Amino acid sequence: MSNKQLNSTNGQIDQTYIEKYVKSEDLKFLVDNALDYAIITGFMQKAHSNHSNGFFQIRPFTLLPTPFPRKLFDQAKAVQMAMNILYFRVSWDYKFLMDSHKDVIKTNSFIRKLCELMTQVWGEGVKQKKSVLLQRADYLAGVYDGGLKLKQVEVNNISAGSAGMTIRITKLHRNLLSKIGLDSESIDKHHPENDAIRSQDMAMIQAWIEFDDPKAVVLFIVEDPNEVNMDQRDAEYSLEDMSNDKIVVVLMSLEECSFRLSLSERFELMLDNKKKVAVVYFRAGYIPSHYPTNETWEARLIIERSIAIKCPCIGLQLANTKKVQQKLSEPEVLEYFLSDMPYLIDEIRKTFAKMWGLENNDQTTEIAIQDAIVNPNNYVLKPQWEGGGGNIFGDELAMKLKTMSADERAAFILMEKIPAIVQRNYLVHPLQTVCKENLISELGIYGSLFGNGETKEVYANLTTGYLLRSKYASSNEGGLSMGTAVMDTPFLY
């Protein structure tokens, strides 16, 4: 096909727009444009290789935005600031967090270690009462008898990634929508703008300013400064750019922190005994493998005991577990945390999927367990695991519930498997043929908050952008880092 805009059909634009606007002969033109745009704009990642320096490939993505219900997209955005406040308050409620995890820690050594760390820090007195929340709440569009409903999959309060890359895929898709013939008014109507990472960085910049030391650095805790997806680099460069290079960002693993960080007599967090650290941003530290030695746990303790402003603080990381997500769905819990904001409670509760804690031996729990054993495809069994993967489905779920001890069972939550809407779109993978597939799309809404946990005062609270990830409808897991999902954006209808 010649290098010109495609001819579009006239008429109303709806969720079938891909079938109406894109024919098989158009694909090569669109894919060539998409690949070139991805390369030019840096929609890339390092190749998975031991010799990855200098070798890059495009990130997998959908060729065009995937249809997503406008009503549910707007609902997810509207509730995000309330979600920020909810989790901020949970993160500073020591008793609630300890009570929530008292059964989990019997068999989950990682959560037990985090609880012990928080207990030690709170026992001696929290030195820094201000904290930053950078959150992404993830949802599916569920198909129920009463119609489509927005249902929450999980809430991410540590290393809520891809904010930089989602801006790039948004621009790429807007470019391709113009290529298939949509005018700017139609694009603006159906394809929302996205400024996720710059808005996220505003909270960290405000925290850095509040620390009141222009020479203090911002520390990013990462797995590896040269990791494959480079996601933390987006946040680093954006932070430097937005601060006009006043902020110096340092990237270190917890292992490096173990010998480069120390505390001054005033509990200042010192880097190499020379520079103060104003803000610590955890892009790692959410799974056991990030703490390979006792020294790495000591490094985390030093950070938590300091007056550096944390993102997240240890309380917010413990608020990030599946157990807390399940506890928040129980009666009167939202009322406890949002008693002064009752108008927010119903809006949040509407998004909750059905969840059951498995630590109790009551009739309600037993009925849910037995139904899950008989009908395992209607449920998901979730451990306290972050970073993608770990969920248990189908026959394995049924067998797990049959064979686990009571203590082992308490470390999991049981959740309804959300019957998600299925759409069709083309998938673009490096070095693979582009093909059309049945997809399920998961919508993430970013939020940021900066506040004082002791006084509950909120200095800034924002809804900051979105991420859409799409996976094969036949796949249970849908993580970008796991390679089971691709980046996408919503076409609202």
From the annotation, which residues make up the binding site for Mg(2+)? 154, 156, 386
Residue 315: closest CA among 102, 83, 92: 92
Strand partners, 140: 151, 442
Residue 480: CB atoms within 10 Å: 21
Give the residue ranges of the annotated binding site.
Answer: 136, 154, 156, 232, 322, 382-391, 415-418, 442, 469, 471, 477
Give the residue ranges of the annotated binding site for substrate.
Answer: 136, 232, 469
Residue 135: closest CA among 167, 96, 87: 87
d(CA 434, CA 437): 10
DSSP string, 260-308: HEEE-TT--EEETTTEEEEEEEESS-SSGGG--SHHHHHHHHHHHHSSS
Report residue 478 as tokens.
Answer: 């849908």
Give the residue ranges of the annotated binding site for ATP.
Answer: 154, 322, 382-391, 415-418, 442, 471, 477
**What are the start-end ranges of the E strands in 27-80?**
44-46, 56-58, 61-62, 66-68
List the Cα angle 256/260/262 in 5-degree steps: 130
* b/e burial code for range 27-43 (CB count within 10 A of at least 16 → b): bebbbebbbebbeeeeb
Lookup result for tokens 């159906």 = 190
Report residue 99 as tokens.
Answer: 């009570």
